[in-house]
Chains A and B, each alone.
Chain A
Amino acid sequence: RKEVEQDPGPFNVPEGATVAFNCTYSNSASQSFFWYRQDCRKEPKLLMSVYSSGNEDGRFTAQLNRASQYISLLIRDSKLSDSATYLCVAGGDNQGGKLIFGQGTELSVKP
């Protein structure tokens, strides 16, 4: 079983749609959680950190459920420029600061 699991997609949605990505992690000792965005043939870029209380950044909302070991990302009013692969990441001090990446979920926003 992978340490961080995501649905690889692709998710094909029209502009303006709301799309949700889910992710599960297996290491209950993980302490830090992130969503990264990766464009084709580029390095990953931090989109947002994920906290138990949930956090929102503009059109993006991230949630963490520690009991279920489940992380989500919601994108509202999707734009063409949101097309990318979204990587769910778990890590923590107890893991030597290592980040464990999920396979990524591919999103394609169409006009």
Chain B
Amino acid sequence: GAVVSQHPSRVICKSGTSVKIECRSLDFQATTMFWYRQFPKQSLMLMATSNEGSKATYEQGVEKDKFLINHASLTLSTLTVTSAHPEDSSFYICSARQRDYYNEQFFGPGTRLTVL
């Protein structure tokens, strides 16, 4: 149980395009989903916290108009990188937290974004 999927696993796009990444909890309801970004040889950095049915809470320094998050259901959250540029190239990972299991997060397999 507690499986989280992400799609796509890998995407290469041209500068200026927008990319949507999906995060799904497959066998549980995720009241909260988290979006992280990881650059090479660096740690996971939390970008935003997404609660179902409400606006996402962004970490300091993360542009909410550039990284659009939608958490429309208890099993799906999406991250859209708008007008992507080469510096947005990174490994994006989501995690999901079950209702009543407050401290445990289950991670998706990640999406590797390369912006040319």
Chain B residues close to A by CB (< 8 Å): 32, 34, 36, 41-46, 49, 57, 91, 93, 95, 97, 102-105, 107-110, 112
A87→B110 CA distance, assembly (Å): 16
Nearest-neighbor residue (CB-CB) of A97 within chain B: B102
Nearest-neighbor residue (CB-CB) of A91 within chain B: B103
A45→B95 CA distance, assembly (Å): 11
Our pick among A41, A87, A93, A100 for the contact of B46 (Cβ within 8 Å) is A100
With a cutoff of 8 Å between Cβ atoms, the chain A residues found around residue B107 in the complex are 43-45
Our pick among B44, B93, B97, B110 for the contact of A97 (Cβ within 8 Å) is B97
Task: Identify 4 new A-B residue pairs, CB closer than 8 A, beyond the known A43-B110, A44-B107, A99-B105.
Answer: A43-B93, A44-B44, A92-B103, A98-B49
CB distance from B6 to the nearest CB of A (A): 8
Query: Which of A57-65, A73-81, A101-109 contacts the other chain?
Result: A101-109
B46 near A98 with CB under 8 A, answer yes
Is residue A1 contacting chain B, with contact meaning CB distance below 8 A?
no
A93 near B43 with CB under 8 A, answer no
Our pick among B32, B57, B104, B108 for the contact of A43 (Cβ within 8 Å) is B108
A42 near B103 with CB under 8 A, answer no
Our pick among B44, B57, B97, B110 for the contact of A101 (Cβ within 8 Å) is B44
Nearest-neighbor residue (CB-CB) of B6 within chain A: A43
A99 near B46 with CB under 8 A, answer yes
With a cutoff of 8 Å between Cβ atoms, the chain B residues found around residue A41 in the complex are 91, 110, 112
With a cutoff of 8 Å between Cβ atoms, the chain B residues found around residue A46 in the complex are 104
B102 near A93 with CB under 8 A, answer yes
With a cutoff of 8 Å between Cβ atoms, the chain A residues found around residue B97 in the complex are 97
A42→B109 CA distance, assembly (Å): 6
A87 near B43 with CB under 8 A, answer yes
CB distance from A101 to the nearest CB of B (A): 4
A45→B3 CA distance, assembly (Å): 12
